[in-house]
Amino acid sequence: MASRAAAFVTESWYTGAFWLYLLLPFTLLYHVITLIRKFCYRAGIFSSYRSCLPVIVVGNITVGGTGKSPLVACLVGSLREQGYTPGIVSRGYGSNIGPGDVREVHVSSLVSDVGDEPLMLKRALACSVMVSPSRALAVQALERTGCDIVIADDGLQHYALARDIEICVIDGVRQWGNGWMLPMGPLRESLAKINTLDFIVVNGVGRDGVDWRDRSPNDVIRMDLDPGALRSISLDGKDEMALENLKASKVNAVAAIGHPERFFSTLQQHGLQLERHVFEDHHLFSPEDFRFSNDLPIIMTEKDAVKCRELDLENAWYLPVSARLSGDLGAQIIKSLKTKGWFDG
């Protein structure tokens, strides 16, 4: 029921439903609160933690999935190639972690302890990953691991952590919906935020025809998510299968992510026929969730797969994706950090 209500509201944001104007008073209140909160941080009334390491925040200004985690994975790889040792901090959504707690993510960690996205990144990248509701505490823990760059997965609006680089990922198709802030629209903060960003990454569509408010073309990068081979959802996860092997086949497509339609669209573009099963973002799966009325193959996202390894599912696969960028964002980040006094040169 909750997932259906959330889907209805989300669809309304992007179709301009008239009933949303009933929420205008709440949106105005939300806007005032965000402005007061920003002022308090800028005036020093609320304190921000300044790390001894450069901090890069990858986030968005809208509710829902835009492709932040694939970009984070891409940046980790790019920075490693340049000789740096990046680490990741995350809120750990969906975990049972307490307000003042910090946990290091291990390959063997449980989703309930650290969250699905941090565990997915840890297993894919094998870099240091720390989770905490307080990103400042997570960064402090990461400082003791030998990392020399911090990447915060989400947290663009988490001003308790000072940052050196802000990267906003925008869904190139949906963009910012009706342009209103929560709860009337999908915006977490005003569109004026775009003017202050270091880099904008557009997921799926180029910047032609989009008002980027006189941003430099070098600051706007296109990102495409390339699907890889399907991988078996099992404890070893060694079996692989080309996505093309299921062309024209009917499958159970399962998604518990912020924007499931992007995942479904990818499968359809490769010729698969879908029985769709949508769950709330960060949903913790149980065997009952997979008691379908058919024995079709099960295909899900990599983020969902980390929650299903121990469920002993048969004929179940996940689709990994990798980010492909139109420019060398990693090199641009290092150049920007050096101009701000980090590293040599």
Predicted pLDDT at 65: 84
Residue 311 lies in a domain: yes
Low-confidence ranges of the chain (pLDDT < 70): 1-3, 206-218, 235-237, 345
Q: What is the rounded distance in angstroms from the CA atom of residue 150 to the CA atom of residue 75?
A: 11
Best CA proximity match to 116, nearest among 136, 90, 83, 142: 90
Split into its structural domains, the chain has a count of: 2
Identify the helix (H) or strand (E) that includes residue 129.
strand 129-131
Check residue 3 and give its pLDDT.
63
174 and 287 housed in the same domain: no
φ, ψ of residue 62 in degrees (nearest 5): -120, 155
Please say whether the beta carbons of 90 and 176 come within 8 A. no
Query: Is residue 159 located within the same domain as residue 190?
Result: yes
pLDDT in the model for residue 217: 65
pLDDT at 16: 85
In a domain, 278, yes or no: yes
Same domain, yes or no, for 36 and 180?
yes
User: Do 268 and 203 lie in a common domain?
Assistant: no
Distance CA 64, CA 256 (A): 11
- Look at residue 162 and tell me if it is in a domain: yes
Q: Which domain holds residue 295?
A: 229-319
